[in-house]
Amino acid sequence: MKIKNKFAVYNIMMLITPILLIGVISVCFLIIFILKFPVEELNIPRAALIDPKVFSEAVGEFFRGNPAALWYMLLWAAICALILVLSTTVMTRLMSKSIENPINELDRAADYIRGGNLNFEFMGSNYDEIDMLCNNFDTMRRELKKAQENEQCMKKERSMLLANISHDLKTPITSIKGYIEGIRDGVADTPEKMNRYLDTIHAKAEVIDDMVNNLSTFSNLELSRLTFNFETADINAFVNEFLEDYRLDFEKNNIKLINNISADIAYVKLDREKMSRVFANLADNAVKYKREDNPSLEITTFTRDGGVYVYISDNGIGIGEKELQNVFDGFYRVDGSRSIKGSGLGLGIAKQIVEKHGGKIWLKSDGLGKGTTAVVYLPAAG
Ligand code: ADP
């Protein structure tokens, strides 16, 4: 109810309550008065009804003859006055309480927020206006809570990121140190052994180099420090060129390539170098997480929803449903894939690049062992 309507109700009650109570009391008093006192002596002449002087003389004469009746009338007047005062006080108290309660609640809520406690609920009130205020306050509380949770989540992610970076860097560094110590101690005592040791050191150094490069790209993308050189290009021709560049890699890994790229021309806004990185990361994953027997990779493109979809489907080890969202987070690697070379940054980088193109990227998988499809959607160039 609106404050103004509620106050009108209180005002009406403030009038009606004492009138009713005084009316009932007065009728009781009147009955007792008639029974108790000789009212027949209250001989008021007809003229007294229009002449107050004559009326007061007649009444005065009655009360002089019956002083108890005067006390009785005074008692009635006192009780009526008491009813008036009490009913007004009670109504005013009720009225102020109904406003005070939600305001006190808001005050308490402000104290909670100041103290960092955002886990309280608003009771609401009987007034529309105060309810609206409470609702706005509650929306603010929920937003603050969300921001607080996000901050905590980011803090946790940052710590996990640092833990993952140090872990992933530590592994190849430890192994490089081990091989160097081996050389120092003379374990690599033949030219073949020495070459093997040096090759391993070189390979491990490349892993670190890759990781540092990925890390730098990832953080530059996050900080929007990479400049994009967009041009309008046919995405179908671009994916075809990319596949040609990668054909040897697929052949080397015995991956059967199925080309379903549309023959149509589909223009999108494209930074060739960055988009090549996206497809390279997706293709690398299809190679790294391939199955042993009859691995295959199918690339399909088609135009729909005002843009172009590129599907890169492998029949490899697949991903569990719960992991599908997480794999785009920096350094996230599905359990079990840690034995395969990788930094956990490839999909995170791909996502940021695609989003900078105004597009979307996601993974689909029917589950472990059932292959994975990476979907890239890019809006058509206007
Ligand atoms: P990584 O360097 O580990 O490959 P990515 O960010 O490219 O990092 O991928 C994150 C994780 O997602 C991988 O560790 C792997 O577990 C999973 N993944 C990505 N692509 C595929 C795929 N095609 N098949 C199976 N798992 C995949």
Mutate to test the pocket of ligand 1, among 299, 311, 323, 337 (most ligand atoms within 8 A of CB): 337
Which residues does a 6 A CB cutoff place in the pocket of ligand 1? 281, 285-286, 288-289, 314, 316-319, 327, 332-334, 337, 342-348, 372
Residues in the chain: 382
Do residues 257 and 242 lie in contact, with contact meaning Cβ atoms separated by under 8 Å? no
**Between vectors from CA 344 to CA 150 and to CA 338, what angle results, nearest 5°?**
120
Q: What is the pLDDT along the chain (382 residues), one digit of tens a residue?
A: 788 888 888 889 989 999 999 999 999 999 998 888 887 777 777 777 778 887 888 788 888 888 888 899 999 999 999 999 999 999 889 888 888 888 888 888 888 888 888 887 777 677 788 888 888 888 888 898 899 888 888 888 778 778 878 888 898 999 999 999 999 999 988 999 999 999 999 999 998 998 899 889 988 998 888 899 999 999 999 999 999 999 999 999 999 999 999 999 999 999 999 999 999 999 999 999 999 999 999 999 999 999 999 999 999 999 998 888 889 987 777 776 666 777 788 999 999 999 999 999 999 998 888 999 999 999 999 7
CA 333 – ligand 1 centroid, Å: 6
CA 174 – ligand 1 centroid, Å: 24
CA 196 – ligand 1 centroid, Å: 29
3-state secondary structure of 345: coil
Do residues 327 and 363 lie in contact, with contact meaning Cβ atoms separated by under 8 Å? yes
Helix (H) or strand (E) holding 16: helix 3-36
DSSP string, 77-93: HHHHHHHHHHHHHHHHH
Alpha-carbon distance of 280 to 246, in angstroms, equals 8
3-state secondary structure of 310: strand
Mutate to test the pocket of ligand 1, among 168, 214, 285 (most ligand atoms within 8 A of CB): 285
Q: What number of other Cβ atoms are within 10 A of residue 248's Cβ?
A: 9
| pLDDT of the residue at 55 | 80
Among 307, 321, 326, 328, which Cα is nearest to 377's?
307
Structure-token pair, residue 273: 């170098």
Mutate to test the pocket of ligand 1, among 168, 250, 289 (most ligand atoms within 8 A of CB): 289
pTM above 0.85, yes or no: no
Q: Which residue has its alpha carbon closest to ligand 1 atom 16?
A: 334
User: Whose structure tokens read 């172009």?
Assistant: 308
Alpha-carbon distance of 73 to 39, in angstroms, equals 13
Say how far residue 209 (Cα) sits from the centre of its chain.
38
Alpha-carbon distance of 138 to 151, in angstroms, equals 20
Neighbour-count burial of 114, counting CB atoms closer than 10 A to its CB (0-12 exposed, 13-18 middle, 19+ buried): exposed
